[in-house]
Amino acid sequence: MEEYLVKDGKRLRLGYTTGSCAAAAAKAAAWMLLTGRRKESIRLQTPKGIELNLKVLDIQMLADEVRCAIRKDSGDDPDVTRGTLIFAAVRKSATPGVTIDGGEGVGRVTKPGLDQPVGAAAINSVPRKMIEENVREVCMLVGYDGGIDVTISAPGGEALAKKTFNPRLGIEGGISILGTTGIVEPMSEQALVDTIHVELRQRRANGADYVLLTPGNYGADFIRASIGLDPRTAVLTSNFIGDALEHCRALGFRGALLVGHIGKLVKLAGGMWNTHSKCGDCRMELIAAHAAALGLPPARVEEVLDCATCDDALRILKEEQLYDAVLARLAERIEFHLAHKCGEMAAGAIVFSKEYGLLCRTSRAQELLGTIMEG
């Protein structure tokens, strides 16, 4: 596929989703089944409006079934399913319409709150629609009005799934067949946000009223070592803390507690909700501003501004006996911005560092933590 986008000054090649692979394989297999003729390539119109022309691989034409594959190409996106063969096996059926199921290497849903019901193959709604529409198109072209059974498989998918969020989400036995546009955009932030939303929606569907959030591995380690909870209790937000909180509020959670390293959460004291460095790095400016307001001498303020890490800045505050006071002010500002962001939903934060451990917490953090631990 030779479609590109420009991101951060780089020209990046687009790819196509497992959903597009499944739909294209099903379309090609249906054509071969109903016409008896081999199909070496297949065209597929994606929901994004980009037409794909894909090579059809591993064709097996039997008397009552045709099986073939499309190789997943994720472009310049570092996707674990890159190069995976997505197969479709198609046969005629006495049941009207197009029936879609998953085979080897395609996961099964075991928990509620996901795109598909418990027990169904993890083939999401848009890929299912793409498969059905493309198979129906072939049936109409050749004048076939009977039923069609489609089985999507991904040999090796069970091993690949261990590198994805599937085990955490309750999808067992393989990968998911995904895609809302049919196209993979390299390093898609929206894909990460969508994953966070899926996990939050699942927690809510399972009855959770309160949720623990953390940006990443540092937070997960702190949750295990210092709080004593299984880190899987927490939903990982990466840098998308604001998006996660908005999803929590929209889903009707009663409360959310953030646990994170000061390098991430100090940015909330300035109202920054995407904590990625490309969106801004105000860590030292925030610490320096609050320290200056409490009387830190100008020369030492300059030292704080020159610090490379938050721990370096905290060391200066300790030397000047402003450590506790500055952290208390930062907690107040974090709480202020959380209240503005979360509205009626209770929200709190626990802030730590690798060197100094627990640094500060907002006023409702302990209450929220107790509620989460009881649940």
- CA–CA dist 42, 28 (Å, integer): 6
Count CB atoms within 10 A of the CB of residue 43. 12
**Fold that domain 4-184 belongs to in CATH:** CbiD-like (3.30.2110)
Domain with CATH 3.30.2110.10 in the chain: 4-184
Q: Tokens 């129906």 appear where?
A: 136
pLDDT in tens, 324-363: 999 999 999 999 999 999 999 999 999 999 899 999 999 9
What is the reported pLDDT for 187?
Answer: 62
> Where would I find the beta strands (DSSP E) of 210-275?
210-214, 234-236, 255-261
Q: Can you count the helices (H) and strands (E) in the chain?
A: 13, 18
Contact between 191 and 17 (Cβ < 8 Å): no
Give the Å distances, CA to CA, from 187 to 32, 74, 77, 184, 250: 36, 10, 6, 9, 26
What is the reported pLDDT for 340?
Answer: 96
pLDDT in tens, 176-201: 999 989 998 876 677 788 889 999 99
CA of residue 331 relative to chain centroid, distance? 28
In percent, the amount of the chain with pLDDT more than 70 equals 98
Contact between 266 and 283 (Cβ < 8 Å): yes
